[in-house]
Structure 1
Amino acid sequence: MFKNALLLAALLLPACFANADEFKVGELKISHPWSQELPSNAPTVAAYFVIHNPGTTADRLTGVDSPIAGKAELHEHVMQLDLMKMQQVASVDVPAGGEVRFAPMAYHVMLLDLKDRSLLQDGKHFPLTLHFAKAGAVTVEVSVQKQPPAGTDEMSHMDHAHAQ
């Protein structure tokens, strides 16, 4: 009996880890929240993730907050006069049956007035709460990484203040 329980636990363990960086609220799924480790004197840090909406109803991300920052804002990169600029947005639409990627050089969350820098080191995690118009709020754990995950733009936000 003990061997059967141990075998079952061993078989289920990979499934638990496979979803360790996925969070749900309503029909929305938020996957792979991450942030890149920056120097300790960086004035801001950015957070990234993917919002999946397999449902038939569109939603909207209306705001974000985190206890590690005095202020959290939704931002996007836009091309203006042959120059890539960053600007704050009030909300981000999440289409029904679609997804929205928060990534370097795209939508992202900017955390300003940083309070707890101890959580901004490689291997650490920090909470980020996403507020949706219909689905409600969900808190995700953002994984801090020395390098961006494979397949993402490697441009960091170290010179964010200069891009405005």
Structure 2
Amino acid sequence: MKGQHIPSLFTLGNLLFGVFALVLALDQAYMQGGIMILLAGLMDYLDGKVARKLQVTSDFGKELDSLADLVSFGVAPAILAYALQLSDWGYLGLAIALAFVMCGALRLARFNVTTFTGSFMGVPITVAGGIIALIIIYLGKLPALVLPMAMLLLSYLMISKIKVPKF
């Protein structure tokens, strides 16, 4: 089948930007790391769009997408948030970062074994990670409690049974 690997290149782009965000966290370049997460979101949007356009959706692509999403929208935002602010909170800050990653993983696992009905159950990890990236980018203009409170709320919303329409 011609073009079957093209969507996976976008998925790998998603993963690349997520790993780059982690490297930027190590370099204390938090705003740039947040931007990398948003670029990962663009790649995530394009991989699905291209797969449907080329009619090459597959179980392999779905699994690869979930693995990339966990890194880019779960681990990367949590590490950026921890390095930027949550580390000041000691074990509580670490617990918030870990909860975000674990809830994101649970959300992705549930998505992978559920038949899509036109709406998502729980907030997608891509949305949660994107919101955290935006908060990180604009953190200097926000109250200090916004980041940890948003992470806790989004952690809950990812594993909730709330119906979220697909846009």
Would the TM-score normalized by the shorter structure come out above 0.5? no
More strand by share: 1
Q: TM-score range by the shorter chain?
A: under 0.3
More helix by share: 2
Looking at CA atoms only, which structure, 1 or 2, has the larger radius of gyration?
Answer: 1
TM-score normalised per structure 2: 0.22
TM-score normalised per structure 1: 0.22
